[in-house]
Structure 1
Amino acid sequence: MESADIKFNPLKILILAMLIWSVPSIFAFEQSLGSLMSYLTYALLLLYFFIAPKRKIIIPFFVLGLLYFIISGLINVDDSEFFIQEFVKYSLLTLCATELILNTNKKELYILLIIGASSIIVQAVFFQSDFGRYSGFYFDPNNAGFVCLFGYCLSFSIPNKTLKSAGQFILTLAGILTFSRTFLLLWVVVSIISIAANKKNFTNFGIGIGVIVLVLSLTSYLQLNTVRLKAIENLFNPDQTSSALVIQQREGTRTETWSRYYDTILNSPIIGNGFHELRGSGLSKQGVHNTYLMVLGESGIFPFLLIIGIYIYMLVKSLKYFKEEVHLFLLSLSLMAILMTIHTYFDNYVILLISMWLFLNLTMLKSEDVIEQSESVLTS
């Protein structure tokens, strides 16, 4: 049941849209304009914080940022101005976004994620590129795929069947057009788990297969990434070795990327090696592409244990409500998996916002009675 206490607030929706649609990255082609939109986002967030009722901050995420930035900053910083900017932005988000999140229901979040995903489809149809992977509002196709996945997980909490099904179709289609193999793998995992919670969710595979067939049938009209399109086509190839080879190559590439940084991490596991030391430098070296390893390698064991603890807490806590609120477990699992593929955690608006929204929802679910009234609890 949606809470009657959560009322439409234009300022709230504007801030949510700027964060979820990653508006500053839309203007990244012009550095000054991108910076202006970033400052505007945080200025509006501060404004909302001062005019909204004060309740509490999300302490674990705030402490995580303090530990990470202070320890890594004391060890090594190559660009002090950039370091301070990132520290301030993360601190403002974790301090000021609590009221925004508490006043946001899942339907509002779901619709904003659908709109963000729709921008991917619009780009694929009307603004095609030689790259063949599409991201819409988002600078990175992988990040765009994460947005689609979050929306797909959240769809299982939407009671309106039309909104739920339409959203699942849009989110699945947009996710496939990003050609993010992380999205494809987790989409399958999420769909299978959702069936365990409710057998009626089996229809989602029909939506997924239908979308894949649609994409394959439109290859002559859409300019798509040929290598990744081939990987999807292999799913329908009776030669199982071909599909398995694609997966094996992907796993090998990821673990190989991680292994490049093992020596650096082991060189200073207690206090780390300094800010941005595992993000890669220049064109010759990739970043670590793993949030957990990045935190450990840059700021040491203490922030590492905290971030592991936060996400394990959410995963274990959400298991308690698996049948009634399966979307919470699906989001927890997806977040833990996604963090194994990125090293941009502390400046990723979408992942931070979804993580904090999930954490607050889980900490406020204390009994079966509260579960049945979870929408009203969001504003308590």
Structure 2
Amino acid sequence: MSDEKLQNVLSSLSPVARQLDVPPSGRPAPDSSYVKLDTNENPFPLPPIVMQGACAALERQYLYPENDNISLREAAARAYGIATDHVIAGNGSSELLGLLYRAFLTPGDRVAMLSPGFSFNRKLAMLHAAQLLEIESAEHHSLPIEELLSGSAADAKFVLLANPNNPTGAFVPLADIERLLARSDRLIVLDEAYVDFAPDNGLRLLSRYANLLILRTLSKSYAAAGIRVGFGLGHPALIGRLRNIQNVFSMNVIGQAVGISILSHRAAYKDNHRHIRDERQRVAAELSQLGFCVTPSHANFVLAHAPVGQDGRWWQAALAKEKILVASFPDKSLESCIRISIGTKDQMDAFLAATKAISARTRRAVASCAPYPADRQDTDMRAG
């Protein structure tokens, strides 16, 4: 295509699309020699009984998937103790989040999000020419209710809360969320992607508050990140409108089958969840001994502030040299942090061994650069 033709094509893009940079081509996924602890995956295989459903679905690959995901929605309704018309199923909870932006926002509208939060919301807000208000909390484990109800957030179309939060792992008491629901007439979106690792959940609030929408996913708790299954739970009037704008055949037959099987066999994951909670505690304790400050976590990861004077990106790069992948963040409040997903015991042993080795090398390097002793300086000067 000639440059002139290309410019004509690009000039026809919407104003918002023209603002977006072309992303790089990307890199191939790391090979199996890396310990991947950077994207909060649950690294365990599907239980055999769930895998049977996936294999059976492959035999129906020539058929379109079930439209409106009705069987999967029925399975979720049974699992969560609600009616089917209270459930929308989607290609991961990220698809459902995108539906919310499309359904609620027009250019110039505002959305409020508890910060730090899911960075994908920044892109979604930009795509809809909306303003994302990031409301910080002085305490990670409390909800800034007044800030979410007043000021610039007062006219936000909806409020986004993740509980437990990513990337901090903090869990806000349900009583705080209920107070916000009771005082607000706007939609409160409660993202419970990590709730199976937490002490409580918001399901009981659904019958009391029509302005609540809960998002769930099978990616974190149920080791199905690559299969992409998510749910929205809320009032039928809202759920019905979201279903009405959802893409036709939004899920594939494997995702539908695996989702139904997981929801029917959640007890098969008890050992998985117990392992992650136990390893989370062990990793937090050992990092603390190395001088990291670890935020108490109720998710399948820990957020660790590096020792004073050290940088999160530096630690990310140093661990990558040891073939250990962790996450770091550009946000000013998180510059000193790394986030470590909880994996298998062998993976966490490898991470801790690499971290200890790097810490030891760092201490030796600092010691070798210690200030010249004052008494030695005086002696050398007199000798000169």
The TM-score, its normalising length taken from structure 1, stands at: 0.31
Tell me which protein shows more helix as a share of its residues. 1
Q: Which has the larger radius of gyration?
A: 2
Tell me which protein shows more strand as a share of its residues. 2
The TM-score, its normalising length taken from structure 2, stands at: 0.30
